[in-house]
Every structure is written in C-alpha cells, then in structure tokens.
Structure 1
Amino acid sequence: MECDEVRRNVPIAVQSPRSRPAFTLVELLVVIAIIGILVALLLPAVQAAREAARRTQCNNQLRQLVLAAHNYLSAQGTLPSHGDVPSHLSSHAKLLPYMEEQNLIDLVDQDKHWREQTALLELPLPFLRCPSGVPQLTAINGRDFGLSGGSRGDIRVAELTPHYVGNMGARPAKCTQGGGGRGGGGAWTTDPYATYMAKDIGCIDSAPSSSHGDGQSGGTARNGAIYPRSKIDFGDITDGSSKTIMYGELSWANVDVRQSPDENLTPPPFESWMVGSTTLGGLSDPNSAYGYIENAKNVRYGIEERALVDPVDKRPLTPGTDASLGSNHPGGTHLGMCDGSAQFVQKDVESDLLRAMASRAAGETNSPAF
C-alpha cells in the first residue's frame, strides 16, 4: 500500500521515461533547408511541365488556324489573301467563319473596312495568342483615326495582336536588282528573286539605326502563301505543301516606340488581329492593299535575329514586315505548314533554309545563299 501511495505522488514527467524535449533550433533549420532543397529540385520540373503544356497548346492553336485556311480554300477556291480592298481585313479575320466555332461565324462583317468595326478592334481572341508569349503593346488604329498619341495611335499593353502571322514569302537582302531602296535600281529579273517582291513600298536594303526606326514598312513579298491580293491554291505550291510555311509564330518581341524621338518617323509596333493593312491611298485603290502591312511578315532573317524598333533594349532592328519569327519557347518557334501540320523549328536553323521554306515555288532549297 505504501509503495502504491508513493508511486501516485511521483510527478508524471518523472514516471515517463519516453518523454523528450521539443525540436532544437538546429534541427528546425535542417528541416527547413531540406524542404528548400526539395522545392529547388522540383520547381524546374514543374516549370518544364507547364511549358510543355503551353507549347502543345500553341502548336494546336497554330494547326487550327492552318486547317481553317484549308476550309476556306474548299469554300472559296483559294487561300485567304491579306489586306485586300475595300475591307483591308487580315487573313485572320477572313478565317474566323471557317474555324468551326459557331460564335465566330458572324463575328466580322467581311464586306466592311476594319475601321467601321471599332468594337471588334479591342476584342481579344486568346486562340490567336501563344500562352508563352509576352504582353505586347498594341496601337489601336492610330494612323487612321488620329487617336491619342498622334501617328502612333492609342498605344497600350493589350492582348489584341495575333502571335501567328501570315507568311508573305522570302525576301532577298536587297529590294531591287541594282540596289537602293524604295524602287531604286532595276527590278529583279532572275529566279528566285523575280518572284519575290510584290511591292517595294517601304522596302529598304539596310537596317534602321539603333535609336529608332525610319518609318518604313519593309516591302511586301509575294512568293509565300498569305499576302495582299493573292489568289493561291495548292497547285501553286510547287515546292511542296509540307515544306512551305503558311503561318509562323512571332510572339517573342515586345516593342516600345513611345520613347522614339520622332513619332512621325516611327510606325506603331503592332495592331489588332483584324488589321491587314492600314491603307495607302483611297480605299478602292488596289495599291492601298500594300500600305503598312500588319499581322503578316516576310522571311528575310533567321529566327529571333531581328526585332522591330526598340529604343530601350537597343536590339538589332528592322522594318515592320521584316521582323523575325520567334517565340518564348526554349530553343525555337512553331511553323504552320501548308499541308495542315504544325512543327517546332530550332532557333539555330539556317536563314537560307528558312527562306526556302517561306517561298512556295522558287525551288531554291538547294540554291546558294540569297
């Protein structure tokens, strides 16, 4: 009985040999360090998985755009042209009724100029933008409407510019046979150059200065699949539809022209997905299709070789229609081919090969550099 009484009076901490003190500070720091190492190891894998998903989505979106062009061809007999009079709409706007989404069929009035459809100019279409792309400054039809900002327009960060641009074709280093910009010298008479330039309006033979651009469009190739006043069908793509680009990804460059010293010399960086050309001359003038071309590009340089004017970063610069294809995907960019496929092309692909893929009928795959 006395032993039991003594046992009852002993404190619990003394009775329990299994009790132990809390974590020490050193142990806590070790645990935190281990967790940090695990997070550091797992984070790149998570980011890589997310980028793989974004890249797959981008590829699918580009492929859907190319397939819509196939549907357009079946209905209209040709691939969509770009910036034609009198609507001056982009090929993207022309393809919306053929993308098998009911809400897109009547979205754009195909018979009206894009200036008359102002509500749509500020309507974002996410499926025309790469999920890995950077936010881009968009000029809301400033030259045509005289909005705030003068000739540059109402410039803002907006999700309005398509990241998939029509391929107007390859472009030689010089605009004309004899050299000299804006029509100087003689026209190209030898292949493949003779098939290249539809209009040399704004075509210059050298890059602008490193401070700001010179306001030139860059000229318009006509040996690709999507260009102003085109009437292309698959019979015209003699280089092979699987080897010819229809749309390419351009989602890598953000351009800020607001810091340029002379706004009258600097075109707005990008315009809404509806805009094919920003009108040169009267709306009924066929040449007005070759004004400032938006949302379609020549292939003159390699992937991510030339950006538009960017006075902040001082990158190598180029006129508007000569801006390089490129993306924020590691290692390269996507190309939508005329056969309905979309492929990822490495960033280091030779520019000569890329130009060969841009032309539809010059047969220059094995030709010397041009």
Structure 2
Amino acid sequence: MSNGKNPRGAFTLVELLVVIAIIGILVALLLPAVQAAREAARRSQCINNMKQLGLALANYESVRNELPPGRLTCEMDSVYAPPCDEVPNSTDERGLMSGFVLLLPYLEEQVLYDQAGIGQTDMIWLYNGNWRNRAERVAVVEARPQAFICPSDSGDGLAEEYTDETLIPRTSSYAFVSGINGPRYEGSAPVKHFNTGPFLYLLRRKTRQITDGLSKTAFVGEVMQGNLSGNRNIWTHGFRHLDSLRSTENPLNTPPNSSWRNGLPQYTATIFQDNNGKKYDVNGAFGSEHTGGGVFAFGDAHVEFLTDSIDSVAYNAYATTNCGDGEGTALECNKSLRGTDWKWD
C-alpha cells in the first residue's frame, strides 16, 4: 500500500557518466579560451613593459643627448678598436655593467640606481671586484625589477650554473639590439664595437646617427629562458651574444642553446663553457614564449610584435642604424660612427 509519497529519484550509472562526459567536453572547449585569455593578458603586460623601456630610453636621451651604451666599458686586457685604446687598462676603468642599469631612474628605480655606485671605483661589475664587499652593490645584481620581466617568460630568473657561486645574479626577459652581426664574428670588433645596431660596448649613440629613422630601428627585444647557461641574460651584465646584448644574425625564436636542426647546421653559434666544464651552443638570438613571434621596442618608443615569419632582410633592417635596407657588413654600415663620434665617460 502506498504511503502517498513520491519515490525519490536517482541517477543511474549511465546518466552519471553522460553528465561527467558533458562536463568534460565543456571544460575541454573552455580551457583553450581561458588559456588564450591569460596569454593575451601576459602579452599585454609584456608590451607595456617594452613601452616603458622605450620611454625610459627616450627620456634618458632627452636628458643626456645620447643613448646609453649596451655595456659601459671595454673588456679587460683587450684592445679591439678606438676608443678602447684610449681607456686606461685598469681594473678601476673596465668592467661588465650593462646600460640597463643607467635606465633605472627612468623606471622609478632610483634607489637601485644609487646602490649601483655609478662612476665610483666600487661600481657593480668592475673587474677590481671592490663592489662585492658592499651589500648594497650585491643587492642590485641580485634584484629583478618588474619592468624587466615578461609574464610569459617561464624562466625562474636565476642565472643557471653561473660561474661565480658566491652571487645569485638575476636575469631579464629583454636585451638591447646590438646589430646584425652575431656569433659568426665571435671575439672580434664587428660584434663589440662595430656592430650595426644602437647598443654596443662603450659607444654611446646619438639619435642623429640613426639615419634609418627611430621608428625603423629596434632598440630592445625579448629573450626567452634567459636563465639557461647557453642563453644567459643577466640584466645588470653586458656580454656579447648573451647578457643584455643580442643580434638578428639568427632568426627570431631560434631555440636557445642550438646550432643544429634536423641534423644539419642551421644557425650560427659560438661555444660557452660553464664552471663545470659543460659546453653550450650560444646563438645570441632574440626569442619569446608568446605564440608566433616576439615583442620589440623601437627608437621612437613604439612597440611592435614581430612574427616568426618575418623576412630576414626586414628583420636585419630593424637592427641597423644607418644602413638603409639593413644589408652590408658592420664596418660599411657604421663607418660614420668612427673617430670623433666615440665617447668615453
């Protein structure tokens, strides 16, 4: 006999499985959209960072009437070209600090800038090593300002297998454009002092020298996985093919630590050896973890997303200051920059 109440319904196993399957399909459909939205947000932040770097360079040039050098000084015990032969060959005059440090006041990082000891005999990265005994100097090298970090960069910000284990230098997602010439010219003047781009060792470009036009000359580009030894990108440090200085000799988004593809030589590279004796192919390429290309800041502070498929001639043209179409050797492209245009502070 019925008690007058309706029996309680329940899902059968088949119904439950169908519901789970439907939920799974919906998640599968929505997940790419969510991931795309997140990447769009990260890319937008990266573009904003690049914009800030472009404006910082423009403001620096407005105050100083010149751009910062890619690296402040010459190498120790090396004379490749003027003006290095005019620079005292002492550990107080030569070092490895990058020009990014000079931009700190224009990125609301005045405190870090003051701690770096600019112009003093214990300035960071001078070969004399005096700065290593100053906690505030070391703190700059171990800092990682947000302006130098692309949210899409998967690196942890620590320079992997750094040769000096007493320091923990931090890396950046961005590097200066030094020109067309890359690892093919390893150890020679065309990379350090006579490259085609805006940022070299010691030399401070003036905007009047950029006859290709500021809007057509790339100043800063992305670097992916700058924590890797063969792709190291310490933002306070300037070093050809690696820290803070890259070239367009290899294509955009050339894989880090690579010179071969499909068993054949594909990219130009030189060899970097870490403190454990492990060797890496260093190709000095710009790269990004954004899909399909990378973000660059130009001389007029506008920002562009360059695609992987960019023509090599066009890509190289962006890495020149006075070469017209971007073709030609570094010495041909920059012959007007020699002589009285060199400047050492």
Superposition pairs of residues 28-43 of structure 1, within 5 angstroms: 28-43=16-31
Tell me by how many angstroms 1:253 deviates: 6.3
What code does the residue aligned with 1:327 have? Answer: S
8 Å Cα contact 1:306-1:323 kept in structure 2: no
> Helix, strand or coil for the counterpart of 1:345?
strand
In structure 2, C-alpha distance between the alignment counterparts of 1:47 and 1:22, rounded to whole Å: 36
Tell me by how many angstroms 1:316 deviates: 5.2
Who is 1:213 aligned against?
Answer: none
Who is 1:287 aligned against?
Answer: none
Change (3 A) 1:105 1:368: closer
What code does the residue aligned with 1:128 have? Answer: F
Q: For 1:237, which of 210, 214, 227 is the aligned residue?
A: 210
Q: For 1:121, which of 107, 121, 141 is the aligned residue?
A: 141
> Are 1:307 and 2:256 matched, yes or no?
yes
In structure 2, C-alpha distance between the alignment counterparts of 1:328 and 1:43, rounded to whole Å: 19
Q: Which structure would you say has the larger Rg?
A: 1
Who is 1:106 aligned against?
Answer: 114
- Structure 2 length-normalised TM: 0.72
What code does the residue aligned with 2:102 have? Answer: K
In structure 1, C-alpha distance between the alignment counterparts of 2:107 and 2:39, rounded to whole Å: 26
Tell me by how many angstroms 1:80 deviates: 0.7
Who is 1:328 aligned against?
Answer: 289
Structure 1 vs Structure 2 CA RMSD: 3.3
In structure 2, C-alpha distance between the alignment counterparts of 1:361 and 1:166, rounded to whole Å: 17
Structure 1: where are the runs of 5+ without partners? 1-9, 176-180, 184-198, 201-217, 258-268, 278-290
8 Å Cα contact 2:250-2:267 kept in structure 1: no
8 Å Cα contact 2:232-2:242 kept in structure 1: no
8 Å Cα contact 2:180-2:248 kept in structure 1: yes
> Are 1:82 and 2:70 matched, yes or no?
yes
> Helix, strand or coil for the counterpart of 2:247?
strand
Q: Deviations over 1:319-359 (max 9, x none)?
A: 37742111110000011100001110111111221111100
What code does the residue aligned with 2:159 have? Answer: T
In structure 1, C-alpha distance between the alignment counterparts of 2:328 and 2:187, rounded to whole Å: 26
> Helix, strand or coil for the counterpart of 2:147?
helix
Tell me by how many angstroms 1:223 deviates: 2.2
Who is 1:65 aligned against?
Answer: 53
Tell me by how many angstroms 1:118 deviates: 2.0
Query: What is the number of equivalent residue pairs in this alignment?
Result: 284
Q: For 1:227, which of 200, 203, 212 is the aligned residue?
A: 200
8 Å Cα contact 1:250-1:327 kept in structure 2: yes
Change (3 A) 1:243 1:295: same
- Structure 1 length-normalised TM: 0.67
In structure 2, C-alpha distance between the alignment counterparts of 1:368 and 1:68, rounded to whole Å: 30
Q: Deviations over 1:212-239 (max 9, x none)?
A: xxxxxx6555321111122212211111
Identity of aligned residues (%): 32
Structure 2: where are the runs of 5+ without partners? 74-92, 132-136, 273-281, 331-345
Who is 1:188 aligned against?
Answer: none
What code does the residue aligned with 1:123 have? Answer: A
Tell me by how many angstroms 1:108 deviates: 2.5
8 Å Cα contact 1:247-1:337 kept in structure 2: yes
In structure 2, C-alpha distance between the alignment counterparts of 1:21 and 1:138, rounded to whole Å: 61
In structure 2, C-alpha distance between the alignment counterparts of 1:349 and 1:292, rounded to whole Å: 21
Who is 1:133 aligned against?
Answer: 153
Q: Deviations over 1:63-101 (max 9, x none)?
A: 101111111111111111122233532111110011235
Change (3 A) 1:68 1:369: closer
What code does the residue aligned with 2:238 have? Answer: G
Tell me by how many angstroms 1:168 deviates: 1.0
> Helix, strand or coil for the counterpart of 1:138?
coil
8 Å Cα contact 2:175-2:233 kept in structure 1: no
